[in-house]
Amino acid sequence: MTEPKPRAAALRGPAPTASSRSRLTALIVACALLMQNLDSTVLATALPAMARGFGEDPVRMNVALTSYLLSLAVFIPASGWMADRFGARRIFRAAILVFTLGSVLCGRAPNLGFLVGARILQGLGGAMMVPVGRLLLLRTVEKSELVAAMAWLTMPALIGPIAGPPLGGFIVTYWDWRWIFYINVPIGLAGILLVTWFIAEVREPAPDPFDGVGLALSGISLSCLMFALEFFGRSVMPTAFTATLLGVGLVAGALYLRHARRHPKPILDLTLFRIPTFGVSVLAGSLFRLGIGALPFLLPLLIQIGFEETAAQSGMITFASAAGALVMKPATQGLLRWIGFRPTLLWNGALSAALLSACAAFRPGWPLWAIYAVLLLGGLVRSLQFTAYNSIAFAEIPRERMSAASSLYSTFQQLSLTLGIAVGAAALEFATWVGGHARPTLGDFTFAFLVVGLASGLAAPCALLLPPEAGEELAGRAAPKAAE
């Protein structure tokens, strides 16, 4: 008679930690992603100063953000094929070079039109950096070290949107707005050298034929949807135009679905959703990222408009979330090993949504330490959740499908972060309109935070769709599978 295996028996030996080579690869990739994320959020802070320099209406400067999103939407689906065809290291290094060159051109822009063209070039580099950088990590790191490596990789996604606004405010206030782009140059050059010296080339021996039709349909669909989400709730474009974009995006998306069912190797392989860990991670992770995307948009506005504080004071408060993420990083591997992936995604996800919703209660009379405590703890739990989603997504992906999975995952990641901003903006504008206010009040911010907190909380029960043993090998709770 076989004795039931106790829970403790799943913990086999000491927790695996990332080797020095794995950690170095993760840090090199993370630095490139940090450069990209900082660039986007720093730019948002500098737009008014740039508008004055160009003699443009500040509202029109929104095109500097959306042109980058357009480029991302068009080129992200092609990143996996490019890595397989030309080599992941070569494409990643070229992406850093293109992004850096685009940054220089942005800094030299004499007018808005030139800036938009340079931002599109930046987007081409960014579209390759995100999924191909992740692919490099997935193909060079042992599965038992993946969680620890992902903990290093996910820092930019948490730090960039929080640290960007205060950094942008400092540069615009004390230097020239063009330096928000020039600061990318030394980071980019260092990244190119580090990739050349320390990262080995990885590529598939026989890449699939390129799906040009799929790229066109997915590009039209994703760019129209991203623009519609970016404009929705911001009163930037007429409602009819936004609705037309949404309609075109949905039609192109439906045509792509029809095309993907018939094509043997579509540019975005939707059959990956049949793998439970990947499908649940993308679905639940997209809902979770609604809060991640909305927080950097809503929190600075709350502090500057609702609390009537300066931009510098706002930046010092919002940085607490990033500090929480940094504190959590060393403990991520041990917590996932102790708790397991499914319980973590369920209960930690619920706690994360609750802490995000708690921002709805912020008032000027709150002691500063209490606001810091909520934001710090929120950063802690979001860091753990983010690492868990990014790791479990690739737990069951075969090596030959890693590039396709990375492209698809990055596409949904970008869409969900954009949707988070759109949902937060729409909720805030709706509450302001219902209340008949000229500008958002504290009560309007309360409603917006509750909306994005609820949306983010819907991710937690999705964890129940995972099998109980999901990610056991990643977390070091089970022995690695023997080679057949």
Q: Closest by alpha carbon to 26, among 133, 114, 131?
A: 133
pTM here is 0.78
> Same structural domain for residues 141 and 262?
no
Q: Closest by alpha carbon to 341, among 330, 352, 350, 333?
A: 333
Number of structural domains (the chain) is 3
Q: Could you tell me if residue 105 is inside a domain?
A: yes
Q: How far apart are CA 203 and CA 222, in angstroms?
A: 27
Kindly give the interhelix angle for 368-392 and 311-328, rounded to the nearest 10 degrees.
Answer: 50
Q: How far apart are CA 402 and CA 427, in angstroms?
A: 37
Are the C-beta atoms of 432 and 444 separated by less than 8 Å?
A: yes
Last residue of a domain, one of 205, 228, 250: 205
> Same structural domain for residues 321 and 394?
yes
Which residues span the domain enclosing 377? 270-479
Mean pLDDT of 145-172: 70
Question: Could you tell me the pLDDT band of residue 360, with boundaries at 50, 70 and 90?
Answer: very high
> Same structural domain for residues 58 and 134?
yes
> Same structural domain for residues 291 and 362?
yes
Q: Pick the range with the lowest mean pLDDT from 24-28, 101-105, 192-196, 329-333.
A: 329-333
Q: How far apart are CA 99 and CA 393, in angstroms?
A: 27
> Same structural domain for residues 226 and 372?
no
> Same structural domain for residues 54 and 167?
yes
Q: Is the pLDDT of residue 483 over 50?
A: no
Structure tokens at 257: 């679905």
Q: Pick the range with the lowest mean pLDDT from 138-147, 283-292, 426-435.
A: 138-147
CATH code, domain carrying 280: 1.20.1250.20
Q: Pick the range with the lowest mean pLDDT from 28-32, 83-87, 257-261, 464-468.
A: 28-32
pLDDT of 39: 78
pLDDT in tens, 74-90: 888 888 888 888 888 89
> Same structural domain for residues 183 and 232?
no
Q: Could you tell me if residue 7 is inside a domain?
A: no
Q: Is the pLDDT of residue 304 over 80?
A: no
C-beta atoms surrounding 260 within 10 Å: 19
> Same structural domain for residues 300 and 333?
yes
Question: Could you tell me the pLDDT band of residue 36, with boundaries at 50, 70 and 90?
Answer: confident
Q: How far apart are CA 66 and CA 109, in angstroms?
A: 17
Q: Could you tell me if residue 5 is inside a domain?
A: no
Q: How far apart are CA 161 and CA 42, in angstroms?
A: 8
pLDDT of 91: 92
pLDDT of 273: 92
| Phi, psi of 440, deg, nearest 5 | -60, 140
Last residue of a domain, one of 153, 188, 205: 205
> Same structural domain for residues 323 and 467?
yes
> Same structural domain for residues 182 and 40?
yes
Last residue of a domain, one of 229, 245, 266: 266
Q: Could you tell me if residue 2 is inside a domain?
A: no
What residue has token string 């917006």?
448
CA angle 132, 135, 139 (to 5 degrees): 145
Structure tokens at 418: 């954009």
pLDDT of 3: 39
Q: Could you tell me if residue 143 is inside a domain?
A: yes
Mean pLDDT of 28-56: 77
Q: Could you tell me if residue 247 is inside a domain?
A: yes
Question: Could you tell me the pLDDT band of residue 300, with boundaries at 50, 70 and 90?
Answer: confident
Amino acid identity at 422: A
Are the C-beta atoms of 268 and 395 separated by less than 8 Å?
A: no
> Same structural domain for residues 317 and 396?
yes
Q: How far apart are CA 381 and CA 265, in angstroms?
A: 38
Q: Closest by alpha carbon to 83, among 440, 354, 410, 386?
A: 410
Q: How far apart are CA 105 and CA 415, in angstroms?
A: 26
Mean pLDDT of 413-425: 80
Q: Is the pLDDT of residue 2 over 50?
A: no
Q: Could you tell me if residue 25 is inside a domain?
A: yes
> Same structural domain for residues 219 and 290?
no
Q: Pick the range with the lowest mean pLDDT from 34-38, 125-129, 218-222.
A: 34-38
DSSP state of 237: S
Q: Closest by alpha carbon to 158, among 321, 273, 339, 282?
A: 321
Q: Is the pLDDT of residue 27 over 50?
A: yes
Q: How far apart are CA 456 and CA 291, in angstroms?
A: 6
Mean pLDDT of 412-417: 82
Question: Could you tell me the pLDDT band of residue 348, with boundaries at 50, 70 and 90?
Answer: very high
Q: Could you tell me if residue 484 is inside a domain?
A: no
